[in-house]
Amino acid sequence: MKPHMIHWTFTTIQISGLWMVQSPTTANWLAILALGVIWGGTFMVVSIALEGYGPLTVACARTTLGAFGLCVLMIIMGSKFPTMDRRMLSILIPAGVLSTAVPFGLLSWGQQYVPSAFAGLSMAALPLFVLPLAHFFTDERLQSRQLIGVCIGFLGALALIGPGVARLGTGLEPLGQLACLAAALCYAISSILTRKCPPIDPIAFAASGLLIGTVLLFPAMLLVEGVPTWQGTRPSLAIIFLGFFPTALAAILRVWVIRTAGSVFMTLVNYQVPVWSMLFGAWVLSEVLPLRFFAALTLIILGLAISQWPSLKRMFA
């Protein structure tokens, strides 16, 4: 059996071993729904954390608390870090930088100037970035159907940022939009890098990436924003949530879903995240959602569905 590939968060993980994949159960569907809500709500929670803390502090708290949670989980599960030889480090370090430190920093900085719903929609384009990158840098060739899906999805991305590009140089909002899309591109590049990674426990892989992110972000935070202090209940609880729920808890659910229902079933999260991010942004933060957001959402999800249609058809069959 070929190694399974886990898509979305925060990276793509190679997992070795034979897993007993069965038809999705009610528990699997509930777990997928929970993951969609958790990851879709992440962007709203980042916006709340930014009410009291700087972007580097928010990004550093995500990596530090997340790494702590996953290391505790590894101890409970009896997992171990892999042997850090030259080959492993050549993959783990750049993959960790591009899956945690850089995108967390870009998203936190960008969300100072754009709605959380925009950030969530930007992340929906992640699988569309992965397909062309995989065509050029791996042995996975882009088929005509996938190319059509990618083109439609990118039309959605253009609808999302179109007005902002025209205003480059007139304010920070367009740069915030580009920062969110650049974060999605970082995740996509990290996905391609980790496809070359030797077999590794998925929790150990995620923990390694967060530890690398912490090593990079912690001194940057101290240098630019100083030692963080308690800034009130609302933003502080938001930071704690970011560290533990979208990382440690979601990692447990993600691995369990992959092992019991398969990686194709896991891709259903991609369709939920932008929807939940828009709902939370409008409902909790009272964000105004322009019509182009809905047009972008429709085009991106349509592009995803076309590019992944055979897998979706097999799953529902």
Long-range contacts of 128-132 (CB under 8 A, 24+ apart): 128/153, 128/154, 128/157, 128/300, 128/303, 128/304, 128/307, 129/184, 129/185, 129/187, 129/188, 130/7, 130/12, 130/188, 130/191, 130/192, 131/307
| 18 is a domain residue | no
| 45 is a domain residue | yes
Tell me how far apart the 2 most distant CA atoms of the chain are, in Å: 55
| 141 is a domain residue | yes
Backbone φ and ψ of 14, nearest 5°: -85, 135
CA distance 150 to 282: 28
The helix/strand/coil state of 176 is helix
Residue 145 CA neighbour count, 13 Å, CB half? 8
Whose tokens are 């308690």? That residue is 230
The residue range of the domain holding 222 is 4-9+24-316
| 17 is a domain residue | no
Position 266, amino acid: M
Domain count across the chain: 1
DSSP letter at 198 equals P
pLDDT digits (tens, 9 = 90+) for 66-100: 999 899 988 888 888 877 888 888 888 998 899 89
pLDDT digits (tens, 9 = 90+) for 244-298: 888 777 877 877 777 777 666 776 787 788 889 999 999 999 888 888 888 888 8
Backbone φ and ψ of 5, nearest 5°: -115, 125
pLDDT digits (tens, 9 = 90+) for 7-42: 333 333 333 344 444 567 788 888 888 988 998 899
Between residues 3 and 141, the one the model is more confident about = 141
| 63 is a domain residue | yes
| 286 is a domain residue | yes
pTM, to two decimals: 0.81
CA distance 164 to 179: 12
CA distance 132 to 147: 8
| 14 is a domain residue | no
| 19 is a domain residue | no
Position 107, amino acid: L
Percentage of the chain beyond pLDDT 70 is: 85
Looking at the DSSP assignment, which residues form a beta bridge with residue 15? Answer: 4
Whose tokens are 């729920």? That residue is 245
